[in-house]
């Protein structure tokens, strides 16, 4: 099930999915709980009939007893028997931190699209759901700030890597089920790996650990590179990097002091301040890539869906989707 159109305000964006098995088990959500029960009933009907169908919830829906609290409406495309191989490849690509475009329609099987810079939405009779990799946060540092930020980022749903010279921090971060790596000596780390949807945050109190790692990060395509410390500390940091040959454009890209809350000092507030800024950059990057990010790769189907080779008929129910 995929949201293909929204009218007014809704809790989810077009391109959001809900997976439903033939037993009624489901993963994902289409709202804050307003429509899921009715949506699952519709999905079970589509699975049983082997028919692609559409339904609207909210304003203009035949479900007069289901209203979205925000007063909007959403159109749902229900596609039974999606090819398991396509779903598996979608998850695999997202786990490799690649962008994916799922192509859905009322008449054709679900397929992977080639236009990865396209916008989520209708193109003719095909709906394209474009998904970007989840936010990855690489935290380099020691002290309580590192653990607080890691814990908050895990709760948010980011892919978290912690790199620290402090064995106690590495051990505690490991308990959070993050990728925790020790930093044995000052210098570069094989675990500092960036991409356009990854951020590197430096939380060292002993800034002698920073320089080589900052230069390593600046040589990669990170979404954001930031470091904590006072304005005076950041000026010294920039001057030190300049003396090591780092160019002005790269120096200007370092956010320092990182965080949206000026003067945040306690670890919890600093962590919230940093994560808020990182997420804002992530959302801006996803928007600039013309997508509605969705955590498709976190979906775990508990049981196989029905045989994907069965023919699928089309059943247009209740509405024609609004402007494409």
Express each pLDDT in 162-218 by its tens digit.
999 999 999 999 999 999 999 999 999 999 999 999 999 999 999 999 999 999 999
Helix then strand count (H, E) for the chain reads 8, 16
pLDDT above 80 (res 78) = yes
> What is the tens place of the pLDDT at every residue in 271-314?
999 999 999 999 999 887 654 433 333 333 333 333 333 333 33
Write down the pLDDT at residue 317: 37
Write down the pLDDT at residue 292: 40
Residue 125's pLDDT band (cuts 50, 70, 90): very high
Residue 32's pLDDT band (cuts 50, 70, 90): confident
Residues 289, 270: Cα–Cα separation, whole Å: 29
Residues 221, 16: Cα–Cα separation, whole Å: 28
Four-residue CA torsion sign, 163, 164, 165, 170:
negative
CATH code, 136-287: 3.40.50.720
b or e along 123-147 (b: 16 or more beta carbons within 10 Å of the residue's beta carbon)?
eeebbbbbbbbbbbbbbbbbbebbb
Write down the pLDDT at residue 118: 74
Helical residues (DSSP H) of the chain, grouped into ranges: 36-49, 84-95, 144-156, 167-175, 210-218, 231-243, 248-252, 267-288
3-state helix, strand, coil in the chain (%, to 5): 30, 25, 45
Averaged pLDDT, 143-171: 97
How many residues in total does the chain contain? Answer: 324
Task: Find the range with the poorest average confidence among 35-39, 112-116, 140-144.
Answer: 112-116
pLDDT above 80 (res 108) = yes
CATH 3.40.50.720 domain residues, the chain: 136-287
DSSP 17: B
Tokens of residue 129, six digits: 């759901």
Q: Is the bond preceding residue 46 a cis peptide, omega within 30 degrees?
A: no
Three-state DSSP state, 12:
coil
Averaged pLDDT, 118-127: 89
Instruction: State the chain's mean pLDDT as an integer.
Output: 87
Averaged pLDDT, 141-153: 97
pLDDT above 50 (res 83) = yes
């Amino acid at each position: 099930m995929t949201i293909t159109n929204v009218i007014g305000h809704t809790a989810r964006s077009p391109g959001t999915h809900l997976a439903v098995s033939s037993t009624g088990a489901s993963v994902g959500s289409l709202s804050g709980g307003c429509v899921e029960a009715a949506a699952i009933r519709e999905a079970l009907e589509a699975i049983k009939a082997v028919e692609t169908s559409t339904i609207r919830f909210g304003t203009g829906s035949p479900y007069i007893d289901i209203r979205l609290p925000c007063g909007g409406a959403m159109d749902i495309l229900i596609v039974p028997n999606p090819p398991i191989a396509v779903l598996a490849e979608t998850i695999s690509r997202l786990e490799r931190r690649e962008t994916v475009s799922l192509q859905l329609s009322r008449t054709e099987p679900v397929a992977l699209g080639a236009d990865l810079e396209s916008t989520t939405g209708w193109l003719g009779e095909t709906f394209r759901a474009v998904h970007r990799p989840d936010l990855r946060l690489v935290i380099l540092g020691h002290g309580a700030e590192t653990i607080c930020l890691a814990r908050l980022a895990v709760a948010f749903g980011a892919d978290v890597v912690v790199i620290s010279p402090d064995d106690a921090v590495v051990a505690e971060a490991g308990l959070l089920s993050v990728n925790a790596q020790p930093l044995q000596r000052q210098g570069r780390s094989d675990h500092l790996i960036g991409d356009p949807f990854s951020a590197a945050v430096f939380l060292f109190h002993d800034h002698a650990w920073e320089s080589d790692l900052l230069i390593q990060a600046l040589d990669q395509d990170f979404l954001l590179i930031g470091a904590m410390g006072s304005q005076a500390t950041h000026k010294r940091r920039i001057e030190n990097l300049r003396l090591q040959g780092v160019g002005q454009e790269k120096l200007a890209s370092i956010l320092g002091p990182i965080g949206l809350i000026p003067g945040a000092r306690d670890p919890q507030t600093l962590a919230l301040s940093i994560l808020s800024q990182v997420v804002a950059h992530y959302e801006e990057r996803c928007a600039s890539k013309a997508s509605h990010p969705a955590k498709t790769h976190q979906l775990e189907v508990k049981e196989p869906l029905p045989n994907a080779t069965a023919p699928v008929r089309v059943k247009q129910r209740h509405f024609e989707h609004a402007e494409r």
